[in-house]
Amino acid sequence: MEQMSRFARPYQISPPQRHELSIENVSLSFGGVNALSGVSLTVTPGQIFAIIGPNGAGKTSLLNCICGLYRPQRGRILYGRHNLVETPTHLLPKIGIARTFQNIELFSHMTVLDNLMLGRHVHMKKNILTAMLYWGPAEQEEIRNRQFVEHVIDLLEIQSIRKKQVGALSYGLQKRVELGRALAMNPGLLLLDEPMAGMNVEEKEDMARFILDINEEWGITIILIEHDMGVVMDISDQVAVLDFGRRIGLGTPDEVRNNPDVIRAYLGEDHGL
C-alpha cells in the first residue's frame, strides 16, 4: 500500500510540444508502381486530420513516410525544424511523434501495465550506474513515469485490466492498450492507422470518444486513417482524400462529402459519403 500511494500522488502532465506538419510534394514508388505522386498536405497543431481513400490509395504509405518506415524518392516532410525524410526512425519519439498500426504490435505475454511502461522508455534518462542505485534517482524517475502511465490508464478506462496479460484480452481492448502505449510517449503528433478496424459498434464508439478526449484534453494533434466514414466525418476537422497515390480532395468533412471527384473515385457516381 505504501508503494502504490506514491504512484497516486497528484501529477501534472506537461503538455506536449506541437508543431505544424508540412508534407511537400512527396512521391514514393516501388519498382514501377507509384504509391504516392506529388502529395502535399499541411496539418496544423491541434487538428484531427483524417486521410481516406479506396484500398491501395496510398494512405498507409503516406503514414509510413511520416514515421520513417519508408523514405520517399522526392519531397520533404517537415515537423517543426525537423525534416522527417532525413530523421532516423528511432529519434521520432524524442521529437514527439508516436503511432499505432493496422495490426496490433504489443508484447502479448506481458501485462497491460508493462506494455504501457515500455512506451515511457524515451523519457528514461538515468544511466546504468544510477539505475543500480535504485533507491535514489532511478526510483524517483520510475515513480514519475508510473504516475504518467496511471493517467493514461484512467483516460482509456482500463483500470480493471492493468495486471492482465495482453494476449488474454479481447481484440478491442488490445487496440485500446496499443493506443495507450503510444500515448505513454506523450506525443505532440499521434498517427493512428485504422484504430477501429475489426471492432464492433460499441467498441468503435468508445474509441472515437477516446480520440476526441486525447485531442481536446491533452492537446495532441492526430492524423487518422480510418475506413468507417461515419466516424471520420463526425470527429475530423480536416479530411484529405487519396486515390492511386494522388490527392484528389481536401477540406472539411462537409466539403469532402460533397466533392464530385471524391464521390466518383471513392464510392462511384450514384453514392454519397
| C-alpha–C-alpha distance, residues 37 and 28, integer Å | 7
For the cut 50, the answer to whether the pLDDT of residue 84 exceeds it is: yes
Q: What is the pLDDT of residue 128?
A: 43
Q: How far apart are CA 64 and CA 147, in angstroms?
A: 31
Task: Please give the sequence-ordered ranges of beta strands (E in DSSP) within the chain, or none if there are none.
Answer: 21-30, 33-43, 48-52, 74-79, 82-83, 97-99, 189-193, 221-225, 238-243, 246-251
Contact 193, 225 (CB under 8 A): yes
| Residue 159 CB-half CA count within 13 A | 5
Contact 252, 40 (CB under 8 A): no
Residue 267, CB-side half-sphere exposure with 13 Å CA sphere: 14
Q: Which domains does the chain have, with CATH numbers?
A: 19-96+187-273 (3.40.50.300), 111-185 (no CATH)
Segment 168-196 shows an average pLDDT of: 93
Q: What is the structure's pLDDT at 145?
A: 80
% of the chain beyond a pLDDT of 70: 84
Task: Give this prediction's pTM.
Answer: 0.85
Write down how long the chain is. Answer: 273
Distance CA 150, CA 238 (A): 31
Determine the angle formed by the axes of helices 139-155 and 171-183, rounding to 10 degrees. Answer: 130
| 258/264 Cα distance (integer angstroms) | 11
133-179 tens-digit pLDDT = 555 555 666 777 888 899 999 999 999 999 999 999 998 999 999 99
pLDDT of residue 137: 59
Q: Residue 14's pLDDT band (boundaries 50, 70, 90)?
A: low
Residue 92 above 80 pLDDT? Answer: yes
